[in-house]
Structure 1
Amino acid sequence: MASTAFWLAVCSVAAMNSLVFLCSQKVVADFDSLQDALGFLPKELYPVLFKAAFMDKRTLSLQLLVNTWPFPVLSFQKLLRKCQHCERALIREKPNKYCIQMVISGVVTYLIKLLENRRGSKSKGPQQRLQILDMTGLQDEGQGPESMSLWSRTVTLAKACLDISKQQGKWTRRTSKRRKSPYSKPPGPPALPPVSVDVWVDLFVNSTSYGVLKDALQINSYNALRLRCRDFRAEELSIASTVGLLEFLDPVGVRQVDLRFNNLGLSGLRVVLPHLTKFTNLASLKLPYSNVDVRRLTVGMEGSLQYFANQLSRLRCLKELNLGSSRLSGKLRLLLGDLQSPLESLELAFCYLLPNDLAYLSQSLHTPALKKLDLSGNNLSDCLLQPFQGLLMEAAPTLLHLDIMECRMMDTHLNVLLPAICRCSRLRYLGVFGNPISAKGLKNLLHKTVGLLDLKLVIYPYPVDCYGDDLPWPPTSSNLLNGNVDEEKFFRVSNELQQMLLSANRADVTWTTNLCRHNSLDFFSL
């Protein structure tokens, strides 16, 4: 019986992976054999060997493959995706830190070897092959003992750039000493390196890593290993530090800037925003938790708010905007009214919106183009309910992602919105966590939305009738988050919801209360 199970498992793996991939796994498992065989293997096998080595954590083999990479580009997104030889999409999994470190180490040793071969020699030496390392698109979900966060990748790459720069500096000093004479000209700016590799990467920096990243970016123009930023995220930085890093980023390559927990305020945003207008391809701007409150505007703050709006209008390619946790009551028309093209993703969580904000939005150029809308934390149970219903009807043809968590909605409010929600025929994600909805209300929501065939994920709240008798009414979001849930009651409700999905042949839909396991998609993932 055990033998049968073993061969079934073998056959299952073989069905997922081609014979070429299975052979590649064997090859990369033996480093010495791989080293002997590489000179005879066709270069077309490198991509499948790389994926096999990455998947099986064959770090020495990875470094060897990078050192001898025969193509100008090494792209993680292309090499680790689902392919004809292996159905597993490693790009969607947490990246192994040892594999990432070894790839970076492989590029560093590759560059050092090329530079050494060309140092002081009239011959050009071996021809440079690898020119671009594309590390964008790797996951940054949580932190495990063997995973590598975006912050750690940023620091590791910055240190690698500084290491290469030190090597170049040593060689330059040695060369200048040999050539020194009384008639030597004073040293000019650093010369461009004879060889170089551009690393396309998403960067995440905070006050701890600011220094090392700034040092690496400062030498970008003349270093052999150069950072090219695609998505830039900064947390807990001063205004001066934020601006200082933005100044070093490539104006063309940046597509997203995410500045959060930086306590910028309107005065800080007034300083930072002009530095964003140089990014000609900036499609996503995230400014959550920026400490903006327009409810008590002074004369000076009015001018800063208008300036902020003017700077936003200069971002010609902007498609995603996140202003979450800013108090924007009554100011949406001012902030969004001058944008030249429609937004496709708009996040306004906990923004204390007023009915006229949603009324403007439902009539604006943005709503017919919206794919993602996040209004979590706004009170949709009162005067915002009807304006939101109208907004939802206007956005229904294009909407893919809807977040209305912690909006104080009860069964009656949800019933009002259900016709509009059911018109969102392309909806993939619905978040209603943290709302005081009963088990009956959740069953009704499931029954009404089961016909939305693209809907794959629903984040729902613990039903109010599963809490203890001490739950205040109406409960606040804090009451729901901190209240005691009767696990046995909830288990029964959860099972009933799963049975309803199975009965409707919708086992492909995930209904869950778990916020941590299902990260919200950004504009580029829609």
Structure 2
Amino acid sequence: MVLSLVSLCAREVVRDHSSSPCWLRWVPRELYRPLLDASFTGCRPLAVGELVQRWPERTLRVGRRRKPGQTGPNRLCVQALLLAVVRGMSDQRCALQVLDLCGLQGDDGGMADSMGGWSLTVALCTMVVQARTRAQRAQRERKRLSVLQREKDVKRERGEKTNTTEPGGQDAEKLDLCGTMEEEELIPGVRRRMEVERKRDTLVTGPAGTRRDAEEKEVNADVSVHVRADLFVNARSWERVRGALSAQGPLRLQCRYLRVEEVSVTTIKTLLGLLPRQGLLGIDVRYSSLGVAGLAELLPLLSTFPALRSLRLHYCNLDFRRDHVGQEEALRDLSQGLTQLQELRRLSLTALRLPGQLRVLLSSLPQPLEILELPYLSLSPADFAYLSCSHHASTLQQLDLSENRLDESTLTSVRRLLSQAAGGLQHLSLSGCGLTDGLLGLLLPSLGGCRALKSLALALNPLSVAGLVDLVRMAVRMPSLRQLLYPNPLEDYQPGLPDLPSSAQLLDWPLGAVTDINVTSSQLNRVLMESGRSDLFLTCDLLNYDKDLVD
């Protein structure tokens, strides 16, 4: 990465914090962004705090999409930023009105010194509560000073009235006349001020409002900074998140993507009721025992968010194979709830055990999906047949069918599905689908027809070296393909592996000598070099594979 001259100079400027008083007062607003970027890159939390406290623009975006290999901002720098936002509200030099932290953290939190989703959420909620406390303290102080000033004015006015009306001396008649004139001018002024104060109190408190309600409404009347972020809520952070979303103060917390883990349906419903309706793009529910009835309860609430485009459910205990009382009714409610998600474009269902029910779910959606992830769903041949003919097939950009067994009965439907999606499909995962050399050979023509495909994942499939060579020869003829995740061939495993091993057996079975793995990699790279495709990345590293790196 080639740095510009401005970036290089900014790094040198923020390197020495002792010199900041010299240059901060003279920095033009155009240089604040390069200086802040350099402070984050060089891990200079003190410089971050000073720049943010004086931020000269209305908007500050920190959570921009990172390039491959880049890590998130250092934890200390993020904490310094949040503290500076609170301090900046009382700094006249700060013009900040919108703080955008969306995308700042990843799912796993990144490196050890960066801030993960849970930590960032807790820190944001703490910042909101602190800002509210400071604002209430300042409001009480202003009220106290106002009361003192009002008492002084009343005392001064009464003193003037007594002095002017007191008789004495040869000019008593003249003084009495002047006092009468001043009193007539004074009374309308006091009455007018009392009427204004009474009207203001009525607007704030209402006829039966309490003092506490008045304070909260008065603090919430003018939001200073809108904070946009992705929130990560679990049982440990729930109470703090609820307090921050309920707080009425100068900071207003807005959520773009909401991720919840191991919380009840009641808690999720309460959380959705606290979120602002505008701005929520997606919700990700993980490891929560929703059940079919619980999900049916949530869907009407989700439909109240007009911009919701993504719904992800992972390990949420949705099992249609069990014979429960009221299952059919709950399924109808679920289908009806899905019809209300007008803007949904992404649906991810992981390990929900939905054999034979895909038509009920996907046919209910009013708009065709762009991203469909269905790993570990035990899809039946009827599910594959419906998907290949559905209104979603031609619009799919990302499809994940991992860990759904493919065989001769489903191969025709999969080939039809790939043919329908060939024009726009960019990411495809068929990992752990039981593809043998024979099945893959029948599927290769359909895969090769996906001309827009950027990444292809085929890990944990029982393929031989010969099958992998055929796969790579097909891949090099796909001009858009940039990443290929291939499985370790059967020849690389230690003896004793079954003839048709499952994905779990391939994952747990020990590999042979490292030299055999290198031989396989050399064979595949030789095919790559002969084709002249230096832009295609081949890997068998399942843990570090990331399809988003090609975007």
TM-score > 0.5, shorter chain as reference: yes
8 Å CA contact 1:319–1:345 kept in 2: the answer is yes
The structural deviation recorded for 1:501 is: 1.7
1:106 to 84, 88, 99: 84
Residues 1:135 and 2:111 are matched in the alignment: no
Q: 1:489 and 1:90 mapped to 2: Cα distance?
A: 30
SS at structure 2 position matched to 1:228: strand
Compared with structure 1, are the counterparts of its residues 394 and 336 closer, same or farther at alpha carbon in structure 2 (3 Å cutoff)?
A: same
CA–CA distance in 1 between the matches of 2:34 and 2:271? 37
Task: Indicate yes or no: 2:193 matched with 1:202.
Answer: no
What secondary structure, in the 3-state scheme, does the structure 2 residue paired with 1:34 have?
helix
CA contact (8 A) 2:53 2:94 kept: no
Distance in 1, matches of 2:69 and 2:52, equals 18
Alpha-carbon separation, structure 2, partners of 1:91 and 1:234 = 27
Question: d(CA) in 1 for partners of 2:503 and 2:225?
Answer: 50
Q: Report whether the alignment pairs 1:41 with 2:27.
A: yes
CA contact (8 A) 2:10 2:35 kept: yes
Assess if the C-alpha contact under 8 Å between 1:91 and 1:137 holds in 2: no
How do 1:114-193 and structure 2 match up within 5 A? 114=91, 126=92, 129-140=95-106, 141-174=108-141, 179=147, 186-187=210-211, 188-189=213-214, 190=216, 191=218, 192=220
Contact 1:91–1:139 at 8 Å: present in 2 too? Answer: no
- Say if 1:35 and 1:64, in contact at 8 Å, map to a contact too: no
Alpha-carbon offset, residue 31 of structure 1: 2.1
Post-superposition offset of 1:92: 4.9
Q: 1:416 to 1:142 in 2, by over 3 A?
A: farther
Q: Which amino acid aligns with 1:208?
A: R
Structure 2 match to 1:31: 17
Is the 2:483–2:547 Cα contact (8 Å) retained in structure 1? no
169-178 or 146-155, larger mean C-alpha shift: 169-178
SS of 1:314 mapped into structure 2: coil
Which sections of structure 1, spanning at least 5 residues, go unmatched?
Answer: 1-12, 82-88, 115-125
1:162 Cα offset (Å)? 1.4
Task: Report the CA distance shift for 1:454/1:90 in structure 2 as closer, same or farther (over 3 A).
Answer: closer
- State whether structure 2 residue 46 is matched by structure 1 residue 60: yes
1:73, distance to aligned residue in structure 2 (A): 0.2
Aligned pair partner of 2:520 in 475, 493, 497: 493
Q: After alignment, is 90-99 or 27-36 more displaced?
A: 90-99
Paired residue secondary structure (2:19): helix
In the aligned structure 2, how far is the partner of 1:90 from the partner of 1:361? 33
Which deviations, in whole Å up to 9, do the C-alpha atoms of 1:258-315 show, x marking residues without a partner?
Answer: 0111111102112222111111000111012121111234451111111111111111
Query: Matched residue of 2:472: which SS?
Result: helix
Amino acid at match of 2:253: L
Q: Show structure 2 runs of 5+ residues with no match.
A: 152-197, 202-208
- Structure 2 distance, partners of 1:371, 1:363, is 16
CA deviation digits over 1:17-56, x for unaligned, max 9? 1222211111111223233222222211111111111111
8 A contact 1:91–1:138 mirrored in 2: no
CA contact 1:92–1:139 (8 Å) conserved in 2 = no
1:175 is displaced (CA, Å) by 5.0
User: AA paired with 2:308?
Assistant: L
In the TM superposition, what is the alpha-carbon distance from 1:195 to its structure 2 partner?
A: 5.4
Separation in 1, partners of 2:440, 2:328 = 37
Aligned with 2:75 (options 91, 97, 120): 97
Q: Is the partner of 2:459 in helix, strand or coil? A: coil
Identity level (%): 35
Matching residue's letter, 2:36: F
TM-score, normalised on structure 1?
0.88
Q: Distance in 2 between matches of 1:490 and 1:400?
A: 29
Q: Which residue of 1 aligns with 2:259?
A: 233
- The whole-number CA distance in structure 2 between the counterparts of 1:73 and 1:346 is 34
Offset from partner CA, 1:303-342 (integer Å, 9 cap, x none): 1111111111111110000112111111111111122111
User: Within 2, Cα distance between the matches of 1:302 and 1:165?
Assistant: 48
TM-score calculated relative to the size of structure 2: 0.84
CA distance in 2, matches of 1:395, 1:442: 24
Equivalence for 2:289: 263
Amino acid aligned to 2:12: K
How far apart are the structure 2 equivalents of 1:171 and 1:90?
A: 45
Q: What is the identity, as a one-letter code, of the residue corresponding to 1:263?
A: S
Asked if the contact 2:226–2:251 (Cα under 8 Å) also holds between the matched residues in 1, the reply is yes
Aligned partner of 1:517 in structure 2 is 544
Tell me how far 1:420 sits from its aligned partner.
0.4
Shift of 1:200: 0.7
Q: Judge conservation of contact 1:435–1:461 (CA < 8 Å) in 2.
A: yes
Letter of the structure 2 residue corresponding to residue 499 of structure 1: R
Amino acid at match of 2:115: M
Offset at residue 408 of structure 1 (A): 1.0
Q: Name whichever structure is richer in helix by fraction.
A: 2
Give distance in 1, aligned partners of 2:80 and 2:492. Answer: 50
Q: Does 1:20 align with 2:46?
A: no
- Aligned counterpart, 1:10: none
Q: Is the 8 Å Cα contact of residues 71 and 110 (structure 2) preserved in structure 1?
A: no
Secondary structure at the counterpart of residue 253 of structure 2: strand
Match of 2:428 among 392, 402, 409: 402
- Equivalent position amino acid for 1:17 in 2: L
Instruction: Measure the CA separation in 2 of the matches of 1:282 and 1:453.
Output: 34
Check conservation: 2:55, 2:94, Cα contact below 8 A. no
Q: 1:489 to 1:127 in 2, by over 3 A?
A: closer
Contact 1:425 / 1:454 at 8 angstroms: preserved in 2? yes
Question: Kindly tell me: are residues 166 and 237 of structure 1, through their superposed partners in 2, closer, same or farther at Cα, counting changes over 3 Å?
Answer: same
Contact 2:55–2:93 (8 Å) recurs in 1:
no
CA distance in 2, matches of 1:520, 1:506: 19
1:91 and 1:488 mapped to 2: Cα distance? 28
Is the aligned partner of 1:223 residue 2:209? no
Amino acid at match of 2:234: N
**Aligned counterparts of 2:41 and 2:94: Cα–Cα separation in 1:** 27
